[in-house]
Amino acid sequence: MSFLIAPSLLSSDFSQLKKEVQALERAGADWIHLDIMDSHFVPQLTFGPPMLKSLRVHCQLPFDVHLMVEKPDRLISPFQKAGANSISFHIESCEDPKALIQKIKSFNLKVGLSLKPNTPIEESFPFLKDLDLVLVMTVEPGAGGQTFLEHQAEKVLTLREKLNSLNYKTLIQVDGGINPDTAKKVLQADVLVSGSYILKSKDYKKSISQLKQI
């Protein structure tokens, strides 16, 4: 089975977002990944629900929202109304992950839990039964174009072994420095988020195809 590919709009041309999502859809992307940053949980500030809503009518792919924000519970309803299909939040940003997982599910959204590189993967284990995906960050969240952190590949393997032992279908998503070389280090993953490698290339279809064929 090949990876699902979720290009990250963080690396796109912000002045051409409509054309970018349409081009990615034609090129064979499976999801569109949207990195939501609030300049508090991470230094950068990116998009909000109005931007997602404006793109929703131009693209049929699932919109995969990654909240890198403080107090993520405040944004669930706005992003659901704007057209999100899934929302992932950081375990480090939330006092009660179980309650937030249930809140996201109550909006009929798929839910993911994300972990920074320094957070042990085992912290996700108590919540696996209720999650649609676990997002393993292979760079520090907050900026695109970073180098893949080699030691994070061990987390993906540990998580796969745990999911297999429980017979759970939770997807493993990997985000950070993904290209054909680094993708080979996380073969146990299901979904690859790739920003710079795809969006900075001249041929989106070729780049996406190369990742899917690994």
Write out the catalytic residue numbers: 35, 175
> CB atoms < 10 A from the CB of 63, how many?
23
In whole angstroms, what is the distance from residue 192 CA to residue 212 CA? 9
The Cα-based distances of 6 to 21, 27, 122 in angstroms read 11, 12, 25
Distance from chain centroid for Cα 117: 14
Cβ–Cβ < 8 Å for 80, 52 = no
For 119, residues 6+ apart whose C-beta sits below 8 A from its C-beta are 91, 92
State the amino acid at position 30 in one-letter form: D
